[in-house]
Amino acid sequence: MTGSNSLPHPSDDHRFLAPARVNLLGEHTDYTGGFVLPMAIPFYNRATVTPAESGYSFSSALFETTRAITAEDRSPRARNWTDYPVGVLRQLQQRGIEPPPFHLHLSGNVPFGAGVSSSASVEIVTAYALLAFTGTRLKLEEIAVLCRAAENEYVGSPCGIMDQFSIAAAKAGHALLLNTRTLHYEHLPMNQGALAATQIVVCNSMVKHSIASGEYGIRHKQVMDGQAAMQRKFAGLADLGDATLQQLEQARGEMSHESYLRCRHIVSDNARVMLAKDAMFAGDPVSLGRLMLEGHASERDDFACSCDEVDFLVDTAASLPGCFGARLTGGGFGGCTVNLVDRNQSEAFSAALRKAYQEKYDIAADVFVCDAVDGAEIRNSTEQV
Ligand code: GLA
């Protein structure tokens, strides 16, 4: 059974899976109504939920901290991993969904703090598990929105909707083109023409980031200030998703230089996502790869969310045989690069990239060759994953 628009009835035989994601293009565009092009990758968080005598408890195979709360608990965040599932529970409760007493246990292999959305994956798998346990059906759009709200309102990170939405709605063999204002989405095939002969390689720089920490919030504020200046100048402009570079130039004097640069990245990345859609339908990895490299330069120079290690990985990747394009993926300030690589050369590419990085920084990067997988799923517990 794959992720669908509604959830099956709960059963003890079910377990819940949510993948990680990488984003091909459209970065930091998802909190100002822009476009994103993520896909799900085969790293998973798993949840099991079992009935309890009273209250709610949370444990993880990855962390020692556990948490037990009552149904009425309204305490603030604990500032550890439990905030993600508890935040989701709070959102369900705000919608009148009161699960019976449960114990939720999480396990999985999603790299933590690597920019592949470990937190959104935990949120989505928690929502799927608790909804099924409660016998409540919600559309995947509603699930994504409530999981984002958990992160915005309880965890305290001003993230956009991309991660939660893509983890819920992704489709194997496809990237997901999402309009983050309307939540309209399309699955774009990765197997058109010459694109069928490419693979995605994800390279973890091992430089840690946490989007709940300062830099993401600072960028978010600079973007919001720039967007507000543009909305003052152009009545009727809904958000940066509709803005053009020409309009941005006209409003340039009415915002800080930082806001101008951040907005320039966003407006230009929205345009790149649309061009990437054309490249994908044309089965043109050369154009798609070029757009990815341009996207990286924009993140590095205008959005200032890259770092030396990641820039080195992107530059090295671009110089290796079989690589069409590479860029920083996710929130930034470290984390992973996403590379579009000739399928026949992906193993040699991965080895060469790992070697060059080790020699330069004495860091062993984790490099994974991936195909796009389905979004969150509910599987029979006897199935292997
Ligand atoms: C993080 C956030 C997303 C998005 C990306 C940058 O992953 O959770 O909402 O803003 O950064 O594109």
Q: Is 188 in the pocket of ligand 1 (CB under 6 A)?
A: no
Location of each CATH 3.30.230.10 domain in the chain: 14-186+373-380
- pLDDT score at 208: 82
User: Taking 60 as the threshold, does the pLDDT of residue 382 lie above it?
Assistant: no
Against a cut of 0.85, is the pTM above it?
A: yes
- Asked if 300 and 294 touch (Cβ cutoff 8 Å), the reply is no
Of 10-24, 176-190, 193-207, 229-243, the range with the lowest mean pLDDT is 10-24
In three-state secondary structure terms, 234 is coil
Strand partners, 175: 188
- pLDDT score at 6: 37
User: Taking 50 as the threshold, does the pLDDT of residue 10 lie above it?
Assistant: no
Q: Is 30 in the pocket of ligand 1 (CB under 6 A)?
A: yes
Averaged pLDDT for residues 221-228: 98
- Distance (Å) from CA 381 to ligand 1 centroid: 32
Higher pLDDT, residue 314 or 1: 314
- Distance (Å) from CA 27 to ligand 1 centroid: 7
User: Taking 60 as the threshold, does the pLDDT of residue 53 lie above it?
Assistant: yes
- Distance (Å) from CA 156 to ligand 1 centroid: 14
Whole-number Å distance between alpha carbons of 36 and 344: 28
Averaged pLDDT for residues 341-369: 98
- Asked if 52 and 202 touch (Cβ cutoff 8 Å), the reply is no
- Distance (Å) from CA 45 to ligand 1 centroid: 18
Q: For atom 2 of ligand 1, which residue has the closest CA?
A: 159
233-262 pLDDT, tens per residue? 999 999 999 999 999 999 999 999 999 999
Cβ partners under 8 Å of residue 307, min gap 6: 205, 207, 332, 333, 334
Q: Taking the chain, what is the end-to-end CA distance rounded to the nearest angstrom?
A: 13
Residues 74-105 as b or e (16 or more Cβ within 10 Å = b):
eeebeeebbbbbbbbbbbbeeeebebeebbbb
Tell me the residue type at 350: S
48 — pLDDT class (breaks 50, 70, 90): very high
User: Taking 90 as the threshold, does the pLDDT of residue 2 lie above it?
Assistant: no
Q: For atom 8 of ligand 1, which residue has the closest CA?
A: 159
Q: Is 33 in the pocket of ligand 1 (CB under 6 A)?
A: no
- pLDDT score at 5: 35
- Distance (Å) from CA 75 to ligand 1 centroid: 27
- pLDDT score at 298: 98
- pLDDT score at 214: 87
Q: Is 159 in the pocket of ligand 1 (CB under 6 A)?
A: yes
Index of the ligand 1 atom closest to the CA of residue 162: 9
Averaged pLDDT for residues 323-350: 97
Averaged pLDDT for residues 8-15: 49
- pLDDT score at 4: 33
Of 52-56, 61-65, 208-212, 218-222, the range with the lowest mean pLDDT is 208-212
Q: Is 226 in the pocket of ligand 1 (CB under 6 A)?
A: no
- Distance (Å) from CA 237 to ligand 1 centroid: 23
299 — pLDDT class (breaks 50, 70, 90): very high
Q: Is 335 in the pocket of ligand 1 (CB under 6 A)?
A: no
- Phi, psi of 248, deg, nearest 5: -60, -45
Whose structure tokens read 């504020």? 221
Class of domain 190-370: alpha beta
Averaged pLDDT for residues 160-179: 98
Tell me the residue type at 159: C
User: Taking 70 as the threshold, does the pLDDT of residue 177 lie above it?
Assistant: yes
> Quick one: tokens of 123?
């949120």
Q: Is 34 in the pocket of ligand 1 (CB under 6 A)?
A: no
Location of each CATH 3.30.70.890 domain in the chain: 190-370
User: Taking 90 as the threshold, does the pLDDT of residue 8 lie above it?
Assistant: no
- Phi, psi of 307, deg, nearest 5: -150, 170
Averaged pLDDT for residues 34-45: 97
Index of the ligand 1 atom closest to the CA of residue 160: 9
Higher pLDDT, residue 194 or 380: 194
Index of the ligand 1 atom closest to the CA of residue 216: 11
Average pLDDT, the chain: 93
Of 32-36, 60-64, 184-188, 208-212, the range with the lowest mean pLDDT is 208-212
- pLDDT score at 27: 98
Index of the ligand 1 atom closest to the CA of residue 29: 12
* CATH of 14-186+373-380 given 3.30.230.10, 3.40.50.720, 3.40.50.300, 3.40.109.10: 3.30.230.10
Higher pLDDT, residue 82 or 381: 82
- Phi, psi of 79, deg, nearest 5: 60, 40
Query: Which of 123, 152, 162, 240 to probe ligand 1 with, by most ligand atoms within 8 A of CB?
Result: 162
Give catalytic residues, as residue numbers: 163
- pLDDT score at 377: 79
Q: Is 295 in the pocket of ligand 1 (CB under 6 A)?
A: no
- Distance (Å) from CA 172 to ligand 1 centroid: 21
User: Taking 60 as the threshold, does the pLDDT of residue 132 lie above it?
Assistant: yes
**In this prediction, what percent of the chain has a pLDDT beyond 90?**
91
Q: Is 28 in the pocket of ligand 1 (CB under 6 A)?
A: yes
